[in-house]
């Protein structure tokens, strides 16, 4: 757990509720991803939404594998991928505000 950055995952592991945590996480991400892409369907930033969801999914899969890799460089790479996704999401939001100020 030394290289784990997720406070919610650490909480689940410490309290022995990992399976319910994972089921809730999968459900949340599936419903959230579906609703986000459904709302962006006719938008010019739909492809950015797909990219962000794919990047976050890949980050979570690779993060799960970090329990087997147990390498600090690998863990930091996964954490950096998460940061990149956040930067892209903020950039897409700013782009939307600049190109369509009436969208808010």
**pLDDT, tens digit (0-9, with 9 covering 90-100), for 80-95:** 998 998 998 899 889 8
Residue 104 has pLDDT above 60, yes or no: no
CA distance linking residue 26 with residue 5, whole number of Å: 18
Q: CA torsion sign, 17 to 60 to 86 to 81?
A: positive
Mean pLDDT for the chain overall: 85
Confidence (pLDDT) at 101 = 72
Q: What is the pLDDT of residues 12-59, one digit of tens each?
A: 889 999 899 989 988 998 999 999 899 989 888 888 889 888 888 888
Answer yes or no: are the C-beta atoms of 74 and 66 closer than 8 Å. Answer: yes
Residue 87 is predicted with a pLDDT of 92
Q: pTM of the full predicted structure?
A: 0.67
Give me the pLDDT at residue 103, please. Answer: 58
């Amino acid at each position: 757990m030394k290289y784990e950055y997720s406070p919610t995952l650490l909480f689940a592991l410490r309290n022995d509720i990992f399976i319910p945590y994972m089921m809730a996480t999968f459900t949340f991400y599936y419903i959230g991803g579906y609703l986000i892409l459904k709302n962006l369907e006719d938008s010019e930033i739909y492809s950015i939404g797909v990219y962000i969801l794919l990047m976050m999914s890949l980050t979570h899969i690779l993060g799960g594998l970090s329990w087997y890799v147990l390498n600090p460089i690998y863990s930091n790479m996964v954490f950096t991928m998460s940061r990149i996704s956040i930067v892209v999401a903020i950039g897409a939001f700013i782009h939307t505000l600049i190109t369509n100020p009436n969208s808010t």
